[in-house]
Homo-oligomer: A and B are copies of this chain.
Amino acid sequence: MTISIKDIARVARVSHSTVSRALQNPNAVNEQTGERIREIARSMGYRPNVIGRSLATQRTHTIGVVVTTVADPFVAEVVTGIEDVAQRDNYAVFLANSNADPEREIGVVRSFGDRRVDGVVVMASRVGAMYLPLLNELHVPIVLIDNQHPGRFAHSISIDDREGARTAVRHLLDLGHRRIGYIGDRYGLQSDDDRFAGYRDELERAGADVGSELVAHGNGRAEGGLTAAGRLLALREPPTAVFCYNDMTAMGALRCLHDHGMQVPKDISVIGFDDLPISTFLQPPLTTIRQPKAEMGRDAAATLLKLIRGETVDVRTRVQGTLVLRSSTAAPGKANPNG
């Protein structure tokens, strides 16, 4: 049996509204009675029923987070950041995986709406334009992380994919590479487009080889990187360096290269994107573009909480990636990245 403010009221011989006040706003009630009520509440082991409160206040102190899958290390890091600041502010977080399935994503968002979450953060949404009205239907603030569908109907926080890609490719060019491949995520993803664009930018600027045969597509996961790398290796003139859409893709590429007896970075350089916790532990340790993952998550949550409180915040925040030098890149033919 769970006890309510009415139970306390009965024991304290006051009305339940006085109990409510004593518990919420201590100085809206007589000092003495207030203390007495709180003591009784404590001794009875009272715990507020958030559901009842939510119904009365029209606020649930809850946010919904929808991601493709939390099994993706990048996603997990971001979610950690979100959960962190939410928890600090006493917000609970609903987590739902969409598996990049638009139907499921829509279902999840709808369910969040039914549950009256105070706000939503959507990560790497795959849903298109028809999604917009649905999201607005919720009547709650929305923050998008790495929005895959261009549009500005909600607040967003994302990395500068194009510039990050430029940084990566520039690094390769600086090392002396001229024939640089790209292993992307699936076609049509905004971030893949952008990273590819950055890759092209630098190649063209430097007058290096540009050719569609140098571009292969994976799926953002290791297996995708593995098979895509195979395609690049099969070229009559394979690249001497490869820029991968993300670290998971690079991880798969490394495996493929090793299986083909190629030395990294001596025979071919590899650079990733994300800087996952595991990337230091790959063989060789992966050079990559770091995304401030947890920070992005914290930012997203902080932004959302501000919006919920009615504060106004920047509609769009864009963070920059930074180059993390490790051992998977070197000048063509060099085994040592520092040599």
Q: How distant is A262 from chain B, measured CB to nearest CB, in Å?
A: 13
**Segment among A18-26, A110-118, A146-154, A298-306 that sits at the interface with chain B:** A110-118
Q: Which residues of B contact A254 (CB under 8 A)?
A: 281, 283
- Report the nearest B residue to A87, measured CB to CB: B96
- Report the nearest B residue to A104, measured CB to CB: B87
Q: How distant is A114 from chain B, measured CB to nearest CB, in Å?
A: 5
Does A228 sit within 8 A of B, measured CB to CB?
A: no
Q: How distant is A244 from chain B, measured CB to nearest CB, in Å?
A: 13
- Given A69-B80, A254-B283; A278-B278 close (CB under 8 Å): yes
**Segment among A49-57, A199-207, A208-216 that sits at the interface with chain B:** A49-57
Q: Which residues of B contact A113 (CB under 8 A)?
A: 47
Copy number in the complex reads 2
Does A325 sit within 8 A of B, measured CB to CB?
A: no
Q: How distant is A333 from chain B, measured CB to nearest CB, in Å?
A: 21
Q: Which residues of B contact A2 (CB under 8 A)?
A: 139
Q: Which residues of B contact A258 (CB under 8 A)?
A: 283
Does A295 sit within 8 A of B, measured CB to CB?
A: no
Say yes or no: A222 contacts B281, CB within 8 Å. yes
Does A130 sit within 8 A of B, measured CB to CB?
A: no
Does A94 sit within 8 A of B, measured CB to CB?
A: yes
Q: How distant is A209 from chain B, measured CB to nearest CB, in Å?
A: 28
- Report the nearest B residue to A59, measured CB to CB: B51
Does A282 sit within 8 A of B, measured CB to CB?
A: yes
Q: How far is the CA of A45 from the CA of B280 in the complex (A)?
A: 51
Does A217 sit within 8 A of B, measured CB to CB?
A: no
Q: How far is the CA of A70 from the CA of B73 in the complex (A)?
A: 9
Q: How far is the CA of A110 from the CA of B92 in the complex (A)?
A: 12
From the candidates B95, B114, B251, name the one contacting A281 in the complex (CB within 8 A): B251
Say yes or no: B97 contacts A96, CB within 8 Å. no
Does A135 sit within 8 A of B, measured CB to CB?
A: no
Within 8 A of B (CB), among A83-101: 83-84, 87, 90, 92-97
